[in-house]
Amino acid sequence: MAKTRWYKDAIIYQIYPRSFCDSNGDGIGDIRGIISKLDYLKELGINCVWLSPCYKSPNDDNGYDISNYRDIMDEFGTLEDWQEMIDGMHARGIRLIMDLVVNHTSDEHEWFKQARSSKDNPYRDYYIWHKGKGKDGRKPPNNWTSRFTGSAWEYDEKTGEFYLHLFSKKQPDLNWDNPKVRQEVIDICNYWFEKGVDGFRCDVITYISKDKNFPDGKFNPAICGDEHFVIGPHYHEYIHELNEKSWSLYDSLTVGEAQGITIDNAFDAVDESREELDCVFTFEHQTQVDSFLTTVPKKFSLVKWKKIFSSWQSLPETCWNSLYIENHDYPRSLPRYGKLKYRVKVAKMLAISINFLRGTPYIYQGQEIGMTNFANLKRKDYKDIVSIKIYDTVKKFLPVFLPIVKWALNKKARDHARAPMQWNSEPNAGFTTGKPWMAVNPNYVDINVEQAMEDKNGIWHFYKQLNEFRKGNEIIRNGTYKQYYPKDRNVWMYEREYEGKKYVVIASYTDKEVQFVVPQELKGKESKLVMSNYADCVKTLSDVTLRPYEAMVYAL
């Protein structure tokens, strides 16, 4: 099927179902809760939803451990609910992409239950097994680490071998070198396509092919072995096969979560001629700030940030970008890039800087109202397997470091972004009438959807306006990108140009006043302010003292 590449005009809203909206009072978000908010999403002006996993799962990693790919998690509802949800989305002009989590399954998936039952079970080779080292064969086969800490190998008593798990031990890695496994994945994709989904967000997709010699990785106590399985030996071949046998048969979007894909190898991963993924979520801009895989947060550098975005913007026209600064794996963006004293200004400034770039923008639930981190996240609030593992391991083996770990988790735990959506100022932020599965951020009294929708000058209306502005806008969709002042540590200035028309974007990333000077080549050109985060910004492109986090866009 010829692809329309509809995603180039999409604005995608990510729903983390567990925390979005609870319809039945059990404290857990669910599909009927999503259905009840479809008009809300329509009004915000998004036209596609990425739904984090909603399949059957024992929830070791909140649904990223799937025990049945063809059915819905009990807490979330039924396949009938799901069908009603997608029909409701489509009726409102909203597409749906689902999470495809196929680097690993749950250990409670029937395939794994079979696989671990005996060495000659037909499903044994669906997973990656290896003999252990040492006299008794009880030492892991190599030094690879799980991205969730500790060895990536788990000894299985019954059959006396280790299996590989790059995430938790309840998430065994599938063996993609087995053609039957690849066929299963193709069948799963086609099953959901036939039910009407419009594409997939492909979880840790760059991990699927491993070096089967299993060499030790370069020493790194936190993440070891990457060089042997990130974009491994058959990665491109397997993705191409999936594209050929499934993704290309539907007018779909496939966006890969792509550790290891940098500007240097992006072309091979996403150029249209490759017939692999349509685009990726690069980690480059996120990891230069911090990453959930490394414990201590890093200092933000605007110069590096601009360099990364600018290089991705300069990819050939046949490559497409994904624009995101938030998702369920990072703390909220606002405290990372600005001072909370200026919450609304920072949120709008970030929205401007990112949404005028070339690519498909993503809004993570709550970003549209400027949700923030917890002020003080405590052990009892951790629900994420990663926070719990890090904290408990350090407490057990290196308790002197506990204060540092608490401090680091308070800044960067994934729990921050997974807190229930703040709908109104009623108890539990209107998320549930029961006891929420995790703590609600107490600031919901001031930051919530109801309040945000009433404030015409607030963040919510700003996103709505931006979403409207982007629709059908050829300069934003197709224009070239040029950066000004790349070395400036406070201001990001860039220009988008299409058929002689331009937008010039100026965004200050500091709470200090800074002087902005119009570049020589733009001086004296006719210009008009089209968007800004202060009501009284100068109406034409001029030399100006920028106020804290001031951002504006001029049409030239």
Catalytic residues: 203, 257
Minimum distance of ligand NOJ from residue 259's CB (angstroms): 9
Cα dihedral 92→330→357→533 (10° resolution): 90
Contact flag: residue 203 with ligand NOJ (CB under 6 A): yes
Binding mask 37-76 for ligand NOJ (x = CB under 6 A): ------------------------x--x------------
| Least CB distance to ligand NOJ at residue 16 (A) | 9
Nearer to ligand NOJ, 148 or 214 (CB): 148
Annotate 30-90 with DSSP letters as a single string. Answer: -HHHHHTTHHHHHHHT--EEEEPP-EE---TTTTSS-SEEEEE-GGG--HHHHHHHHHHHH
Name residue 498's amino acid: Y
Nearer to ligand NOJ, 103 or 533 (CB): 103
Of residues 204 through 233, those in contact with ligand NOJ by CB under 6 A are 204
Minimum Å gap between C-beta 1 and ligand NOJ is: 29
Q: How far is the CB of 210 from ligand NOJ (least distance, A)?
A: 16
For helices 459-470 and 343-355, the axis angle rounded to 10 degrees is 10
Could you give the 3-state DSSP secondary structure of residue 349? Answer: helix
Q: Give the C-alpha separation, 130 to 213, whole Å.
A: 11
- Dihedral sign for Cα atoms in the order 542, 543, 544, 550: positive
Instruction: Quote the DSSP letter at residue 426.
Output: S
Between 226 and 495, CB nearer to ligand NOJ: 226
- Beta bridge partners, 551, equal 507
* In the block, residue with structure tokens 């405290």: 335
- Least separation in angstroms between CB 328 and ligand NOJ: 6
Fill in the amino acid letter for 50.
W
| 139 within 8 A of 376, measured Cβ to Cβ | no
CB of 435 to ligand NOJ, least distance (A): 24
Q: b/e for 29-50, b at 16 or more Cβ within 10 A?
A: bbbbbbbebbeebbebbbbbbb
For residue 505, the surrounding DSSP H or E stretch is: strand 501-508
Distance of CA 65 to the CA centre of its chain: 17
Closer residue to ligand NOJ (CB): 19 or 533? 19
Nearest approach in angstroms of CB 543 to ligand NOJ is: 44
Chain position carrying tokens 């091979």:
268
Give Cβ neighbours of residue 392 (< 8 Å, ≥ 6 apart).
none
* 96 vs 199: CA distance, rounded Å: 7
Least Å distance, CB 293 to ligand NOJ, is 10
**CA geometry: angle 205, 164, 228, nearest 5 deg:** 60
Q: Report 229-288 residues binding ligand NOJ (CB under 6 A).
A: 257
The residue (of 81 and 415) whose beta carbon lies closer to ligand NOJ is: 415
Closest CB to ligand NOJ: residue number = 64
- Taking the complex as a whole, the smallest distance from the CB of residue 432 to ligand NOJ amounts, in Å, to 22
Residue among 274, 280, 273 nearest 254 (CA): 280
- Alpha-carbon distance 436 to 395, whole Å? 27
What is the DSSP pairing of strand 153-156 with strand 129-130?
A: unpaired
Least distance in angstroms from the C-beta of 388 to ligand NOJ:
13
**At 82, which amino acid appears?**
W
Tokens representing 431 are 């998320």
244-52-221 Cα angle (round to 5): 90
Output the CA–CA distances (angstroms, integers) from residue 146 to 33, 61, 143, 164, 389, in the order listed: 34, 13, 10, 9, 12
Q: How far is CA 98 from CA 45, 178, 202, 256, 443, in A?
A: 20, 24, 9, 12, 30
Sign of CA dihedral 535, 538, 541, 545: negative
Cβ at position 257, least distance to ligand NOJ in Å: 6
Residue type at position 144:
W
Where in 162-201 is the site for ligand NOJ (CB under 6 A)?
167
Would you say 29 or 430 has its CB closer to ligand NOJ?
Answer: 29
Question: One symbol per residue from 85 to 104: x for binding ligand NOJ (CB under 6 A), - otherwise; what is it?
Answer: ----------------x---
Please report, as residue ranges, which positions from 386 to 405 form the binding site for ligand NOJ (by CB under 6 A): none
Residue closer to ligand NOJ, measured from CB, 169 or 328: 328
Size of the site for ligand NOJ (CB under 6 A): 9
Positions touching ligand NOJ (CB under 6 A) are 61, 64, 101, 167, 203-204, 257, 328-329
